[in-house]
Structure 1
């Protein structure tokens, strides 16, 4: 038995996934809406397994034309292509996207029209239980009395307030050794801490493809959960806000996003359902071998933002634990058994002062180590 265990363990090595063959393709994210704004288009390249960063397609000529002959030009800015002027998709007009890359490739989309306009009715947060897990469900309700809007896609952007649980009035800084005293060693001193390190905000965008349809229902009412948050997730400890966007899709775009969702949710990289090449409504003009991935989407959109506090939904209950361990520790002899040098840890920003003789992991006393202390312009307390 010992020999078998030894053989099994000795044959276990980490396998580093690497791309065996690689075929470059242009990846397009282009959603034009009925909002009057500067529209955005993102152009990137396909990545290898071992790539750590996404390659931006730079220097492309990008523009949209409509059936009246109007052309909307886009210019490169901060890794995206932004329209030079504000415009919005108008019902009845036809739109086409054209992309000419710096290396001479040309791509064009099919002609697309704006989908039916259907404004989102409401967004609500309610306590629910999902898969035996208690938490908050963010639900969207919508209804189209004309029965024209049948396919829905959602995105959200969540922002939450963070209060460092171990913030202290004093802050420790390293005091360098006296260069005139060869026996002197660096030490630390306490100074007044900035209140700007106590309260922060973090914003994250949805990454999952969120879809629902009323095509097979008897009515056109939508009651869809776009987000579920466990009541033990620290992001709802204080105050939480979510901005939900509802896009009305046509059957073709809905089918594209449904396929994309299946490919993205295939599970293990080594599962039988391997992600394949997904064609959208974009094609090469001159060379069929030039591959392009993505969809030119012309869609109506509506948005709604809500806020809630933890105590609003869970009155009298203990808030979730902080995202990292904030148990105080000290340096030195037992019972101060924390490993490492205090001065080095202060200098490296690993710890913050929590009142003598206690120290805590830096994020527990300084939220700016992982979030922004700038209050978002839309935030409401």
Structure 2
């Protein structure tokens, strides 16, 4: 299981905004393009107290007109601890994955090391595992601005008072059932009718097209601190979902991950978040570079974006159906789009015939067959999203899913 790409995207977004701040003024109009560009290493490194294949992401900054980071291929990536144990990583599609599963142990110091293919050496400061704190996730019905919905509430408590700094991620997954699904579909027959017109055949659909699952991730840095509070206790809503939101229509699941950070990593991510908000682009303040805990061993003045964390993580997944949360709600949420059916007569030459339309719909990716009269004189079609959920979602049931 790989660590999510959320933080990497924030690193990249930050360096783009940083470039804009550095080379533009808010009193003048400008076009977002990279007239000045710095090729900087971007590292998203985190190991946790979970026994798993750990992951380190190593990329390069990219220009404003480009749409994705450049993966740093051919690097030698490894982690060492204060017992001289070496944890080797190998290159994967877009990251480096540990060759064997391991987890961070309390009290040990871990250091990330990277040697790029051009021979440059980078390393982090030694880091130790942060304290553990268990996260709880609870759905709570609440009215927000006059509209009923459900808050996904996150809470945790460290009675030792040692955690204090937290970062959160979540993935939400929801089940989709196409409301106008039919197990059959129409195809064009390989022959013509005696009248010389196209004919149609009913054949079973292949593959799952009725039930799908969509997963989305939190696209933000969510940070919390209990410094200055009487207790090391967290309690806040991480997600609000309206009672009318289609994602609640069938079955919904969310997993929240709570990372306990140290002061230095929390400060780094807090600065990253502050630099990433849009108003920073228009600020007169020329902010400095957000240095993390990584350095170039060959050139200490070289800039590097990123941070190597050794964080304890606690995760909690919940499931619920709409009726579980809103047992007295008369109306279920609507489907993702308004589904309109279209009826056409299966003939070609008489007035009002819709045979040509039927042929077009059968060949179209925008409509699917929904039904027909017993005598097959009238065919009904519907927008593809309403009869085939794979048009906008995945028919692969997640391994974690529980019905």
User: Which of the residues 245, 249, 259 maps onto 2:261?
Assistant: 249
Answer yes or no: is 1:65 the counterpart of 2:80: yes
Per the alignment, residue 148 of structure 2 pairs with: 134
CA RMSD of aligned residues (A): 2.8
Distance 1:21 1:212 in 2: 35
What's the secondary structure of 2:171's corresponding residue?
strand
1:63 CA drift (Å) = 0.5
User: Is the CA contact (8 Å cut-off) linking 2:274 and 2:280 kept in structure 1?
Assistant: no
Tell me if structure 2 keeps the 8 A contact 1:174–1:343: yes
* Alignment equivalent of 1:210, drawn from 209, 219, 222: 222
Structure 2 equivalent of residue 298 of structure 1: 310
1:12 aligned residue? none
Find out whether 1:358 has 2:372 as its counterpart.
Answer: no
Task: State which of 252, 259, 264 in structure 1 corresponds to 2:276.
Answer: 264
1:105-124 per-position Cα deviation (integer Å, ceiling 9, x unaligned): 2211111111111222x210
- Where does 1:1-381 land on structure 2 (aligned, <5 Å)? 17-120=32-135, 122-175=136-189, 188-194=200-206, 196-266=208-278, 277-288=289-300, 290-315=302-327, 316-330=329-343, 342-356=358-372, 357-381=379-403
Q: Unaligned regions of 5+ residues in structure 2, if any?
A: 1-29, 373-378
Shift in Å, 1:65:
0.6
- In structure 1, C-alpha distance between the alignment counterparts of 2:306 and 2:107, rounded to whole Å: 24
1:329 CA drift (Å):
2.8
Aligned in 2, Cα 1:200/1:18: closer, same or farther, shift over 3 Å? same
Determine the C-alpha separation between the residues in 1 that align with 2:280 and 2:234.
32
SS in structure 2 of the partner of residue 255 of structure 1: helix
Deviates most, 139-148 or 285-294: 285-294
State whether residues 325 and 361 of structure 1, in contact with CA within 8 Å, keep that contact through their aligned partners in structure 2.
no
| Pair 278,310 (structure 1): closer, same or farther in 2 beyond 3 Å | same
Q: Is the 1:18–1:50 Cα contact (8 Å) retained in structure 2?
A: yes
What stretches of structure 1 of length at least 5 have no aligned partner? Answer: 1-14
TM-score (norm 1): 0.86
1:330 to partner: Cα distance: 4.3
Please list the CA deviations of residues 328-381 of structure 1 after superposition, one character each: whole Å capped at 9, or x if unmatched: 234689xx9x9x955445334211112244322211101112222222121111
Alpha-carbon contact 2:361-2:381 (below 8 Å) kept: no
**C-alpha distance in 1, partners of 2:121/2:146?**
51
What is the rounded CA distance, in whole Å, between the counterparts of 1:276 and 1:134 in structure 2? 44
When residues 231 and 147 of structure 1 are mapped into structure 2, their CA distance, relative to the original with a 3 A threshold, is same
Q: Give the alignment's TM-score, normalised by structure 2.
A: 0.81
Q: Counterpart in 2 of 1:3?
A: none
Cα 1:130–1:292 change in 2 (3 A) is farther
Name the CA distance, whole Å, in 1 between partners of 2:132 and 2:106. Answer: 9
Q: What is the CA-CA distance between 1:184 and the residue it aligns to?
A: 5.7
Equivalent-residue separation in structure 2 for 1:159 and 1:273 (angstroms): 40
- For 1:275 and 1:347, the matched residues in 2 are separated by 57
Cα shift at 1:327: 1.8
Q: Is the contact between residue 142 and residue 151 of structure 2 (CA under 8 Å) also seen in structure 1?
A: yes
Residue 325 of structure 1: how far off its partner (Å): 2.8
**8 Å CA contact retained: 1:263, 1:274:** no
